[in-house]
Amino acid sequence: MLKKRLRKWVPTPSKVRQSRSLRIFGSWVEDSHLWQLSRHTTAKAFGIGLYCAMLPVPGQMIISVALAIVFTANVPLSFSLIFITNPLTMPAIYYAAYKLGAWVLGTEPLDIEFEASWTWFVQSLDDIWWPLLVGSQIMGVICGVLGYWLIDAMWRNAVLRQWQARRARRRQ
């Protein structure tokens, strides 16, 4: 059941091949193992995708696809999950990452007036980059591990329920 739901959301190999930024991976992206929807490939893809979504760097797509290839995870899922951080969610996620990083580093968060613009980000980068990087890494690892465990548990639970239903049908 989970597999059927995920197939609706997963892009096709041709859609991923059309992406200009992913051409650097060539035929590696076309490996059939990287497109399988199994418990292991799906859980790894969620872990990788959620980790990469928290990275405050351009090129999250390339990083997520490279990690999916290295760890034989489902490429389209890890690719798709990075869009959790989009222009609507980025400010809140990265602000939380900055606050977390400042807390972990034991520094006082700067009282900077936030402005949702690239100019503000570039000008403020000197002051915020280290806490932002530390906080986003911590959030990425936590989200990635939780995503992996959650998908793995959901998949196991779905399979267990299918076995129980099958056993109940045989007894009737």
| pLDDT per position as a tens digit, 15-64 | 666 666 666 666 666 666 777 788 899 999 999 999 999 998 888 888 99
Check residue 47 and give its pLDDT: 96
Residue range 90-116: mean pLDDT, rounded: 84
Going by the DSSP 8-state scheme, the letter that residue 112 receives in this structure is: P
Q: Please check the confidence at residue 9 and state whether its pLDDT lies above 80.
A: no
Residue range 149-159: mean pLDDT, rounded: 93
Of the chain, the percentage scoring pLDDT greater than 70 comes to 76
pTM value is 0.77
Compute the distance between CA of residue 13 and CA of residue 40 in angstroms, rounded to an integer: 19
Compute the distance between CA of residue 148 and CA of residue 68 in angstroms, rounded to an integer: 13
Q: H helices of the chain, where?
A: 2-9, 13-18, 39-53, 60-70, 75-81, 90-105, 118-171
Q: Please check the confidence at residue 125 and state whether its pLDDT lies above 80.
A: no
| Residue 105: both structure tokens together | 């580093």
Q: Please check the confidence at residue 1 and state whether its pLDDT lies above 60.
A: no
> What is the CB neighbour count within 10 angstroms for residue 39?
16
Q: Please check the confidence at residue 73 and state whether its pLDDT lies above 60.
A: yes
Who has greater pLDDT, 125 or 67? Answer: 67
By residue count, the chain amounts to: 172
Residue range 137-158: mean pLDDT, rounded: 95
